[in-house]
Amino acid sequence: MQITMKQIAELAGVSVGTVHRAINDSPGINRDTKEKIINIAKSLNYQKNLIASSLVKGETITVGIIIFDLEHSFFSQLATSAINKLKEHGYISYVLITNKIKEDEIECINKLLSLNIDGILIVPINKGEKFTQYLNSIKKPVITLCNFVSKKLPHIGIDDFKAMYDAAKFILSKGYSRIIYLSPPLENPKGINIYTLQQRYNGVCEAIK
């Protein structure tokens, strides 16, 4: 049988509102009373009703993570790190993959919106002003990772140009002059977002001029 806040309130000798404040770590409650309520809740193995909480707060405590795939170690590590960090803050993560298909990326975003997630972390495959406007129109926090889209969107990533520029310059400083640079194809007939690849290539080219 699922334990309710009302049962905890009766055992603690307080109101349901006081239990609610204690469980949700809200202000306006005595520290000793809060500790007593939490201990009772733990002893009864009380499980917080996330659906009810989301209806009250207007939040679902969920975040969507959209990446290319899980086969590449970089993306699996990225997803794992994001999931663990979000978990520390009480969030549940949904991970969706696009397989570098622009239409699938839009579908992933729409699926997350249908779940009323609180925010999205995305390694984007789409690009351009139209895509930027679309992301800004969904009224949810969106952070792009790795592939840059627009200054109008929050972005987390390294300076790939400088990283590869510095790497190439270091090799040249060691007396090497014949450098081979290996990269996935930079030809882009499908018009997908290869910002990171382009920046790395440009950094190497600038260094060896």
- The fold adopted by the segment(s) 5-48 is 434 Repressor (Amino-terminal Domain) (1.10.260)
Is it the case that residue 115 has pLDDT exceeding 60? yes
Helices then strands, counting H and E runs in the chain, come out as: 9, 5
Q: What is the pLDDT confidence band of residue 67, given thresholds at 50, 70 and 90?
A: very high
Domain 59-156 in the same topology as domain 5-48: no
Q: Encode pLDDT of 88-107 as tens digits.
A: 888 899 999 999 999 999 99
Q: Which residue has the higher pLDDT, 27 or 2?
A: 27
- Can you say whether residue 16 is alpha, beta or left, with left for phi > 0 and alpha for psi between -120 and 50 degrees? alpha
Give Cα separations from 149 to 78, 93, 105, 123, 182 (angstroms).
19, 23, 14, 10, 24
Q: Looking up tokens 């001029």, which residue turns up?
A: 209
Is it the case that residue 6 has pLDDT exceeding 90? no
Residue pair 115/90 in contact (Cβ under 8 Å)? The answer is no
1-7: average pLDDT: 80
Choice among 3-17, 102-116, 129-143, 148-162 with the minimum mean pLDDT: 3-17
* pLDDT, position 49: 65
* DSSP 8-state secondary structure symbol assigned to residue 174: T
Task: List the one residue out of 62, 56, 111 whose CA is nearest residue 86.
Answer: 62
d(Cα 31, Cα 38) in Å, to the nearest integer?
11
* pLDDT, position 52: 57
Q: Which residue has the higher pLDDT, 127 or 1?
A: 127
Domain residue spans in the chain? 5-48, 59-156, 160-207
pTM of the complete model beyond 0.85: no
* pLDDT, position 57: 61
2-29: average pLDDT: 86
What secondary structure does DSSP assign to 175-207, as a single string?
Answer: T--------S----TT----HHHHHHHHHHHHH
* CATH for 59-156 (3.20.20.100, 3.40.50.300, 3.30.429.10, 3.40.50.2300): 3.40.50.2300
User: Hey, how many other C-beta atoms are within 10 angstroms of the C-beta on 137?
Assistant: 8
